[in-house]
Structure 1
Amino acid sequence: MSYRAPLRDMRFVLHELFEAEAHCARLGNGLDRALIDEVLEEGARYAGEVIAPLNRESDERGARLEHGAVSTPPGFREAYRQYVDNGWASMTGPVEYAGQGFPQLVACMFHEMLMGASLSFRIYSGLTEGAVLALHRHGSEALKAIYLARLVSGAWTGTMCLTEAQAGTDLALLRTRAEPQADGSYRVSGSKIFISGGEHDLSENIVHLVLARLPDAPAGVRGISLLLVPKFIGLPDGGLGERNALSCGALEHKMGIKGAATCVMNFDGATGWLLGEPHQGLACMFTMMNDARFQVGLQGLGIGEAAFQAALGYARERLQSRALGGPAQPQQAADPIIVHPDVRRMLLTQKTLVEGSRLLAAYTARQLDLEHGHPEPEGRRAAARRAALLIPLVKAFLTDMGQEAASLAVQVYGGHGYIREWGVEQLMRDSRITQIYEGTNGIQALDLIRRKLIGDGGAELVALQDELTALCERQRRRADLSELATPVLARLHEWRDLGAAVIAAAQDDPEEIGACSVDFLQYSAYVLLAALWLQAAARAQDALHAGSDEAAFYEAKLHSARFYLRRILPRAGSHREALLGGADCLMAMPETSFAF
């Protein structure tokens, strides 16, 4: 199974819908369209020719732990060296620390390529970018001088150490301790589990960002601090000092992402330094967490694209039965299965969910860029509010989509999809974790309801709905788009009413928050994608009216938009009906009645 980056669609999203060149001009980074396209083309070559061929064997061989050292699968070290030497690691890093300062709107396309080519490989570098963000924003100048440039370059990698055996989602139960020392450092002791890239042989140092409690810490999440704890103590000249008192105690045996080392990390009085203020670790960690959740959404998107490509290729080649309307290829013993309506249903479901999710990812990436780079303070604040609203949608919906696309690929392949030889069952296994880590999708849904909807009384959601409604109203006034715009506008108005109903229900009964959260998130995402698909359809119509020499591409966009609005958007209605069903049917039955 091969992977090829969907460059034409990425260029459509970047240049024709989100005006990447103008976006970069606003941010002041000097990137133009020619350079952006050159970067994407080289990224596609690297992902398709260097990384994708490693994916199958990484699943077969996995990461291995021997005598405390982790070996990555064959080819990973050489591929990572290219990743560093060719500047991919420093792509989004701050320019004052030798980073290239690429905006997320552009970088997210390359990162999606890596996810689609090999999720296991991408995991090793993914959290480093989040560590760079946290250290850059919250670290002392002394820590930044030693560690930041090496992390930006990729010579050193980073991790995020939150979870403990008794403390997963509920970090109030965290027990890892940090004892202050006379020199201003801390001695960190405790064990963390599920640490991606906690130990490996790709980089010469690994910098762990660890949540721990100080001796005077108050109980609960208000008593958590964030510390930088390196595998080797960094020296001012960029070299390595003594080995720190930490180790990998075990590797988890997983259903997927077997090439990625998921570690149990033991800290035995390891030397660390505080990031940010004491007891403010959770706030500091969220600098890293929001990036991580966005990146996990891209994981779902990358796997969804890979699954679609695999299913489409197989459907074009696999000969089975005849088309219902008569032979499509009478010279063959049978027709390719792509002629069958149900196979087309699966392929179009994959295609429209993947391409719609790419639109949502790009829209969110633009907000993340503006949150930090908008020239006006109010512009930065507005973008921060919008990004905060969108992050749980991206993380949850895109990973659910990736799992659905992978499952559909298995179905298109039939029996061949269920066996290891063809590779699509690996996509389904690899994608499953994306719905769980960095906050399960149920937690994302609770975050959307509690912190983003109820937290401001629905103000930011209404602002988003107003903007989308205005865009869609313009399309409704066009004769060639009115039919597509009408159902989208109806859902946007319904979404507004539904948000108000959820807030009111939660005020009457707190259980309603959890009872309706997942359905509300799913409803919101389906409607948001519908609005984005309408904008894509408008651009396609404009190109066709202008006599584009890529008529087939734009016609496919219109076909896809129609399919999404007629066959996928109706899913929103079922989520609406479910959430309006209330919490009583979930909570009324006694626990003892679940089984006898």
Structure 2
Amino acid sequence: MNPYQAPLTDMRFLLEHVFDAPTTWAQLPDIADMIDIDTANAILEEAAKISSELIHPLNRAGDEQGVVHQDDNVITPDGYKAVYDQYSQGGWIGLCGDPEFGGMGMPKMLGILVDEMAYGACNAFTLYGSLTAGAALCINAHGSDALKQTYLPKLYSGEWAGAMDMTEPQAGSDLRHIRTRAVPQDDGSYGITGSKIFITGGDHDLTDNVIHLVLAKIADSSGISLFLVPKITVNADGSLGEHNGVTVGSIEHKMGLKGSATCVMNYDNAKGYLIGQANRGLVCMFTMMNYERLAIGIQGLGSAQAAYQMAAEYAKERYQGVAAGGSPTGSDPDPIIVHGDVRRMLLTIRAMTEAGRALSVFTGLQLDLAKFAEDEVKAKAARYVGLLTPVAKAFLTDRGLDATIMAQQVFGGHGYIRETGVEQLVRDTRIAQIYEGTNGIQAIDFLGRKVTGDNLTALNELVVDLKAQMASFTQVSEAQILAVSERFDALIKVAESINAQKLAQPALINACAVDFLDAFGYTLYGFYWLTMVDKVANHEDNNFAEQKGYLAQFYFDKLLPKADYHLAQVSAGDRTTMAMPAELF
């Protein structure tokens, strides 16, 4: 299997030229003294080295070996713990964490690129650190000072891990029906009793403790609250105490992510501590969930990049058939890179992945502004984060799976056998469309809450901003600018129609949401391709600039028109979708 190599040139291009990170960072006092472009490049280079030399070698062997549930222990694949220790000691888990508690305080737009490298190298391994960083973010946002002081330094250092415990057999996306109970104790803690399923990193041998964030209902209450429940209790001096009534019922046997411990967790009067206000647990948990939704979008992006690298190299090395019109070299057979259908797949993967990387960095930028900027800029960025998070999760993972399948297709029959490694990417990436809220639910959230929920305010605001940027472009054609602008106009028009009908047709949003999100995604990617072509004109690497030009033209000719198809589906409404009686299915 080909070793993963981080696309550093493209990542630097996005930071320095497309989104002008140095200027942004210099204008944010909380991070201006901590980060500059030289520091960012050094971090990216080190992360690329770790991803290719430490993390990627775990990928194939970890998939073959998987995790093991033995007695009361969950054992990760060989090599995981040693690499996790090195990764933690390097500060990578706390890269974007709060410096007050031992984090490095780096901006999210940089952290997103580091995350992409790790996911591209090994999906399963990277999930452990991602869940830990998300748990720390939630505790920092909503936990008491005592909880922060006790738990955050150990989470940021990687000595302890985090997990998010929401789902129960009878309560998945609809959490109103969870049965896990919390009983108040005399010391102010709660006794947590119940079971959870599908808990990523629920238990493992990588760290000394696992800190669970558990949704439960306080006795005699119908509301949902959030609790911090350590696997092992923590003494007043910070040392570890006794086991806390937290056990693993079993591990899930999954299609992919074999090296990631997905557990059934049981709580038997385990000591837990309330995070935030009682009956407001979902508000707190969504801090972590939205972090993880973006992280899972990055999983799809990392998988797509890894898939492209494997497929492109294979296409140049695999000889089969002769080029249409005759071999360009006179050889027989030719490498399959000469065939139009192979090129179609490779160009599609790359054009979608590079635009997706731009979306991820832009979303990271908005997170940084929402955290560090002042007043109006801060509030506006927060609105954009809310609007774009479901898009980043759903569109990046849908297109990520598409990319892995196309890469597998480039390999032909060799892509279906384990030795080449590309079939593992397909299996590992498939879950990304499902967990942290299925992509259908992301689309409903996007259209129902983020677009029509505020009567298109945030969407209109974003489109106005993007159009203003397009008006300043000098290195792209007017026809391409018009192509993107007209599709944004069509999106707004369709969204206005849905907004006007949503009360009279309550099933409309649910039936049309996925197509609307896809139409938005393809149009937004058109904007990012315009931006990249405009900014690459003076790039020092002529080959890099030439590549961007070819990819942009392919995107506008072959992929941007997909926005029209999806908008047509939305405009067809929900009548035929909802017409057939349930008993006829």
Fold agreement, TM-score > 0.5: yes
For structure 1, the residue ranges without an aligned partner over 5 or more in a row are none
Q: Distance in 1 between matches of 2:108 and 2:348?
A: 27
Alignment of structure 1 residues 440-459 onto 2, 5 Å: 440-459=438-457
1:150-176 Cα shifts (integer Å, max 9, x gaps) = 111111010000000000000001110
Letter in 2 for 1:6: P
Q: How does 1:123-134 map to 2 (within 5 A)?
A: 123-134=127-138
1:484 aligned residue: 480
Tell me the alpha carbon deviations over residues 1-22 of structure 1, each in whole angstroms, 9 at most, x when there is no partner: 2210000000011111111122
Work out whether 1:588 is the aligned partner of 2:584.
no
Distance 1:480 1:363, change over 3 A: closer
Aligned to 2:60: 56
- Compute the displacement of 1:473 (Å): 2.5
1:174-203 per-residue CA deviation (whole Å, 9 max, x = no partner) reads 110000000001000000000000000001
Q: What is the one-letter code of the residue matched to 1:295?
A: A
CA distance in 1, matches of 2:15, 2:162: 29
d(CA) in 1 for partners of 2:475, 2:350: 26
Q: How many residues align?
A: 581
Distance change >3 Å, CA 496–CA 243, structure 1 → 2: same
Question: Gapped runs of 5+ residues in structure 2?
Answer: none
* Superposed displacement of residue 480, structure 1: 4.8
Aligned residue runs from structure 1 range 322-401, under 5 A:
322-330=322-330, 332-374=331-373, 376-401=374-399
2:49 and 2:239 map into 1 onto residues whose CA distance is 33
Residue 71 of structure 2: aligned partner:
67
- The answer as to whether partners of 2:276 and 2:284 remain within 8 angstroms in 1 is yes
| 1:228–1:272 Cα contact (<8 Å) kept | yes
Percent of aligned pairs with the same residue? 47
Letter in 2 for 1:383: A
Q: What does residue 561 of structure 2 align with?
A: 570
| Secondary structure of 2:162's aligned partner | strand
Question: Structure 1 counterpart of 2:392, which letter?
Answer: V
Find the residue that maps to 2:363 and give its secondary structure.
helix
Query: Could you tell me which residue of structure 2 aligns to residue 305 of structure 1?
Result: 305
Which amino acid is 2:381 matched to? A
Residue type at the aligned position of 1:106: L
Stretch deviating more after TM superposition (484-493 or 274-283): 484-493
Find the residue that maps to 2:453 and give its secondary structure. helix
Q: Kindly indicate whether the alpha-carbon contact (under 8 Å) linking 2:123 and 2:257 is maintained by their aligned counterparts in 1.
A: yes
Letter of the 2:504 counterpart: D
Q: Give the letter aligned to residue 463 of structure 1.
A: E
Structure 1 length normalisation: TM-score? Answer: 0.96
**3-state SS in 2 of match to 1:24:** helix
Residue 437 of structure 2 aligns with which residue?
439
Q: Distance in 2 between matches of 1:40 and 1:474?
A: 30
Local SS of the residue matching 2:516 = helix
Q: Which moved more, 1:334-343 or 1:250-259?
A: 334-343
Instruction: Return the alpha-carbon distance in structure 2 between the equivalents of residues 500 and 158 of structure 1.
Output: 42
Write out the 4+ residue segments of structure 1 that deviate beyond 4 Å after TM superposition: none
Q: 1:370 touches 1:379 (CA, 8 Å); kept in 2?
A: yes
**Equivalent residue number for residue 19 of structure 1:** 20
SS of equivalent residue, structure 1 residue 233: strand
Is the CA contact (8 Å cut-off) linking 1:322 and 1:328 kept in structure 2? no
What is the match of residue 532 of structure 1? 528
**Which whole-Å CA distance do the structure 2 matches of 1:356 and 1:13 have between them?**
10
Contact 2:245 2:270 in 1 (8 A): yes
Q: Hey, what does 2:212 align to over in structure 1?
A: 208
**1:535-572 deviation per Cα after TM superposition (whole angstroms, max 9, x unaligned):** 1111122x1xxxx5411100111111111111001111
Alignment of 1:240-255 (within 5 A): 240-255=240-255
Task: Kindly report the root-mean-square deviation, in angstroms, between the aligned alpha carbons of the 2 structures.
Answer: 1.1
CA distance in 2, matches of 1:66, 1:121: 20
User: Aligned AA for 1:486?
Assistant: L
Match of 1:290 in 2: 290
2:199 aligns with one of 192, 195, 198? 195
> Is the alpha carbon distance of 1:441 and 1:480 closer, same or farther for their aligned partners in structure 2, counting shifts above 3 Å?
closer
Query: What's the offset of the Cα at 1:370?
Result: 1.1
1:233, distance to aligned residue in structure 2 (A) = 1.1
Q: Is this contact kept in 1: 2:502–2:508, CA < 8 A? A: yes
Following superposition, the deviation at residue 316 of structure 1 comes to 0.8
Taking the aligned partners of 1:448 and 1:51, their CA distance within structure 2 comes to: 34
TM-score (norm 2): 0.98
Counterpart contact for 1:359–1:532, Cα < 8 Å: yes
1:98 CA displacement: 1.3
Task: Please say if 1:153 is aligned against 2:153.
Answer: no
